[in-house]
Amino acid sequence: MAQLLQHLINGLAAGTIYALVALGYTMVYGVLKLINFAHGDVMMVGVYMGYATAFALGRDMRSSLLGVAVVFAVAMLGCALLGFFIERFAYRPLREKPRLTALITAIGISFALSYGFQLDIGFLPGAAPRAFPEVIEPVEWLVIGDRDVVVWNWQVISFGIAVALMVGLQYLVFRTRFGQAMRAVSWDHRVAALMGIPTDRVIALTFMLSSALAAGAGLLYAIKDTSVSPLMGLYVGLKAFVAAVIGGIGHVQGAVVGGLVLGLVEEFVVGYAASTWRDAVAFGFLILVLLVKPGGLFGRVAAEKV
Amino acid sequence: MRRLAPMLLAALAVMVAACEKKTQPAPSGEGGTQAAQGQGAAPGGAPADANTILLGQVGSLTGGQATFGISTRNGIELALKEANAAGGVKGKKLSIRVYDNQSKPEEAAQAATRLITQDKVALILGDVASSNSLAMAEKAQAAGVPMITPSSTNPTVTEKGDYIFRVCFIDPFQGFVMAKFARENLKLNTVAVLQDNKSAYSIGLADVFRRKFTEMGGKVTAVESYSQGDTDYRAQLTAIRKSQPEGIYVPGYYSEVGIIARQAREVGLKVPLMGGDGWDSEKLFELGGSAIEGSYFSNHYSPDNPDPRVQKFIADYKAAYGAVPDALAALGYDSARVAVGALERAKDLSGPSVRDAIAQTKDFPGVAGTVTLDAQRNAVKSAVVLKVEDGKTQYVTTINP
């Protein structure tokens, strides 16, 4: 029972992070019908930005509240900028081209980032994984029994940050003018443009927002697993993409639920079966969901010409 | 403004192409001679000219085990530089072409094929990770090109055929060394094992360790597994904690072990960790931080060894690369020197005669121990046990076969 509770806590911690990354996929897909395969790698770049900032701040500064805020702010703003450039120069020129073209470009950007960051020249970090500095000094907040269940401060903080980011996003999408514009563009960007909505700006902002979210999620992931490597984006990105599809891609709540479900499924598989089964079960679960409910748990099925 | 986008993409493409060149087909020049450098730039891998002997290396220059490949490359480079300074082999200079396998077996197999069919190398060196060497050995054996792995310890590598050699000991020995050390030196009664199910190396060490440790009267309390590239091991470690072992055997690679150590301390495991030569990298201390302190691993060599030959190698290596060589650099160096010695003794540079010359290697004075190849083409030598202390390794003891 205690073990179950511990796995539940661990699974939720992992799941919220998947959910945050999945939100980025879902937002961009919702607005552009583009699966932004570079999303995970933008996240990785964000983690390296946070890594560099944390080092620049020094040991004492980075574990203070202000330090944590600075690390997150730099990484998220930096990634927003990266997202802007990627959208402006890689996706916008292809927007009226067949959708496959943009998808291929996204895969190209993904590889350019993940392999580019393995170079060991100048500011690039090299291929080997690195230890992520302890931005949040680990403290046990809750210990039940003989350490049968342990809740760490970073788990709670990371859960809190993730929920805050999700609530903020929900508010933005459904309660603000910008969100309204986003949903309008998502409905039909040509008609939205006719109605006077600056579609280019809305799409650029969506990209920036999703990239900033990715950076935030990436930092939480790096804090959780205490390491950062150039290939982490491919791995986490793929998992988050699966989470987005399970929930119904393009659906905000779906992404959150998909992320949590995937995080829990993985944790239980590793905890009660074997880690070698994890990916097989995660992707098997994806296939199962798509067979039973092709649009994902929350999505609607829309006939689409591919 | 519209033209900016394609330009940027073009720039990106050039950048990517440039890095490809840096990590992939460019051979690391021997001794920096002009001829070798020029030849290296030739596209498509032109065959060696009459005055050079071309060797090939396949290594993990990028990916999860990147420091392995880079250290090995540096060691090989140093050995070839020395050999060329001493006049080369049979009046010819030595040159090496290095390919990256991105720490992946399928890339390793491709690179080996390329070295054999396009570059027509006399001999292949590589790789560190046994999974990669196994993929390469198949190709080398089929083509009749001798291959020496500097540090692949999985027994099956040299079982691929009579063209495959190694200058290091094999996994059963490392598992045996740690089981003996845990039982006799650390006096442990119960141990848990955490193995990497994606790595032949890790499974090999873990199996022998378990068998020997039980034979010596110890008890294995739990066997858990992870997969290379994982970053969250809390579920496995929680299960291990429940079995209350006095030590944990983690025969993985440094990239995972460092993180495992941190998370082990975090879930409340305070017992020492033990491992094999896959731990040997500066990165281990960075990734593991204070959590890895007080852990033990078996290795091929210790930089504390006062032998003048070893100390000279360390000084030369430091001068060239600005770092203390790890065991993989030492084994890379040894493998290249064994190769050079064999090329000198060989009647000609054909596959069979080079193979026979390598097979005769006996009492070869390497920096990581004396190399004598047995009938199974494996080196027979002793292992050292190192302890992690204050962010570096401390020599503890030597264990003989």
CA distance B202 to chain A (A): 14
B8 band by pLDDT with thresholds 50, 70 and 90: low
pLDDT at position B382: 83
Which tens digits make up the pLDDT trace of A86-137? 999 999 999 888 888 999 999 999 999 999 998 877 778 877 788 888 888 7
For residues B124-154, b (16+ Cβ closer than 10 Å) or e, as one string?
Answer: bbbbbbbbbbbbbbbbbbebebbbbbbbbbb
Instruction: Report the chain B residue with the minimal C-alpha distance to residue A154.
Output: B266
Tell me if A116 and B4 make a contact (CB, 8 A cut-off).
no
Instruction: Select the residue of B2, B259, B281 nearest A225 (Cβ to Cβ).
Output: B259
In the block, residue with structure tokens 């570079």? A38
Closest CA to B280 of B262, B270, B295: B295
Contact B8 A229 (CB under 8 A): no
pLDDT number for residue B345: 93
pLDDT band at B236 (very low <50, low <70, confident <90, very high): confident
Distance CA A270, CA B234 (A): 9
Contacts of B284 (CB under 8 A, 6+ apart): B254, B257, B258, B292, B388
* Better-scored residue on pLDDT, B61 or A2: B61
Whether residue A71 has pLDDT greater than 80: yes
Q: What residues of chain A lie within 8 A of the CB of B9, using their CB?
A: 89-90
Digit-coded pLDDT (tens) for B357-366: 999 999 898 8
Mean pLDDT within A203-226: 92
CA A294 to centroid of chain Cα atoms: 23
pTM value is: 0.74
Structure tokens at A220: 């939480």
Token pair 């009046």 in the structure block, residue: B91
Helix (H, G, I), strand (E, B) or coil at B221: strand
Contact residues on chain A for B234, CB-CB shorter than 8 A: 10
ipTM of the complex: 0.76
Structure confidence at residue B19 (pLDDT): 45
**Dist. CA B260–CA B269, nearest whole Å:** 11
**B238 and A CB contact within 8 Å:** yes
The interaxial angle of helices A232-247 and A2-32, nearest 10 deg, is 80
- Lowest mean pLDDT across A66-80, B112-126, B227-241: B227-241
State the amino acid at position A246 in one-letter form. Answer: I
Pair of tokens at residue A26: 């879902």
A83-87, A254-258, B3-7, B39-43 — most confident range? A83-87
Contact B331, B133 (CB under 8 A): no
Specify the amino acid at residue B291.
A
A49 backbone dihedrals φ, ψ, rounded to 5°: -60, -45
Paired with B393 in beta bridges are B388
What's chain B's average pLDDT?
86
Angle at B147 between CA B141 and CA B153, to 5 degrees: 100
Residue B203 has pLDDT above 80, yes or no: yes
Per-residue confidence band for B12, with pLDDT thresholds at 50, 70 and 90: low
CA torsion sign, A149 to A153 to A154 to A156?
A: positive
The 10s digit of each residue's pLDDT in A135-159 is 887 788 888 877 778 888 888 888 8
Residue of A nearest to B199 (CA): A276
